[in-house]
Amino acid sequence: MLAGRHLVLGVTGGVAAYKAVYLARRLIEEGVEVRAVMTPTAQNFVGEATFAAVTGTQPIIELFGHDDVSPHTSLARWADAVVIAPATASTISKLAAGESSNALIATVLATTAPVFVAPAMHSEMWEHPATRANISRLTDFGYTIVPPQSGSLAGGDEGIGRLADPEDILKMVRSIFDGGDLAGSTVLITAGGTREPIDPVRYIGNRSSGKMGNALATAAHARGAQVILVTAAPPPGNLPGIEVIAVDTAAEMAEATWGRVDIADIAVMAAAVADFRPADVATGKLRRTDGSPELLLEPTPDILRGITKRDNRPYLVGFAAEVGSLDAAVEKARTKGVDLLVGNDISIDGSGFGSDSNQIALIYPDGTTKHHPLLPKRQVADVIWDAVVEQRAST
């Protein structure tokens, strides 16, 4: 329930600032007490008097000149949530850098409440590597990104970058306080690429960054789940409700995963687990002067199969990274014993290992395949969770 909640609404200097007025009104209709914090440039698009009239309180624009000597810390403690809509590229950059140069950024830095960021900007700005890196950093902080939509933009052009519909923003905020559609569920997620040692210095590995698994963990947490993340990659921000188990090798990941799977309602195997490891690991560093070593490889534990063999296994999601075609992924969905398989072609530009976006296909055991466009990984995570929730509800 939103009634009685306190929400700080951050409004930044973009054309979409007028939609924040409607969002404020909708929040108030749901019983939320709203206080607005505007960046100075936001006043070029909507007046402070408008937010004062809608919310019943004067917006905070500057850090100084108030009866409250520290308005940002007072707001930060008061807030049950902070929503920034629209969030311009400039504000996102400042958030990522922790640059508290205005009242809004200072409030976000001072709060421990959930933070929602709804970007709005031109397509080229949204797709710029700097913006993508900043969004990834905000996700690591544990902020919830409300992805922009495609449509008409300022200047008459079309593309992605349009502020999410205020009703969609409201829905995401509501999910935090209503418990979310994964509330009561324990979710086990594997992430990252395992590293199989050759000697104390070198290893066999892959290019997986763990970003997709981290996005899944963050999204599941936002939807109310208790999350266990077994990861061979840097985890997302320190979020209550996410138990992080750091591992390196496939054997360590198998042990940690199999040791927790019995308490999980849903298991998502997003890690890129090495299929083989050196049979004999050198105790000292192998040196060039000793000649080329011969490596004898042996199979690593099949973590997914170890779960499918259990009598009371959880709902199971597998991943298949392919190159050039998803035919093999469709076959895996039929034979691996999963409830859902997420396939992606890593040869597609901007998709797969190390990227901040992904283009996936959801493949069901009967071969039914649903393709999705290239999306930010945080948005892909919600696409996957939507499918999981829908399928579990129908069985």
Report the catalytic residues: 206
Which of 66, 140, 150 has the alpha carbon at shortest distance from 374?
Answer: 150
Alpha-carbon gap, residue 81 to 4, rounded angstroms = 12
Sign of the C-alpha dihedral computed for residues 281, 282, 286 and 291 taken in this order: negative
Amino acid at 358: N
The residue type of 147 is: P
Sign of CA dihedral 155, 157, 161, 162: positive
The three-point CA angle 172-176-181 to 5° equals 80
Q: Quick one: DSSP state of residue 30?
A: T
Q: Are 304 and 336 in contact (CB under 8 A)?
A: yes
Helix (H, G, I), strand (E, B), or coil: what is residue 227? strand
Angle at the Cα of 265 from the Cα atoms of 264 and 270, rounded to 5 degrees: 75
Q: Rounded to whole angstroms, how far apart are CA atoms 289 and 301?
A: 33
Q: Is 260 helix (H, G, I), strand (E, B) or coil?
A: helix
Distance CA 172, CA 30 (A): 14
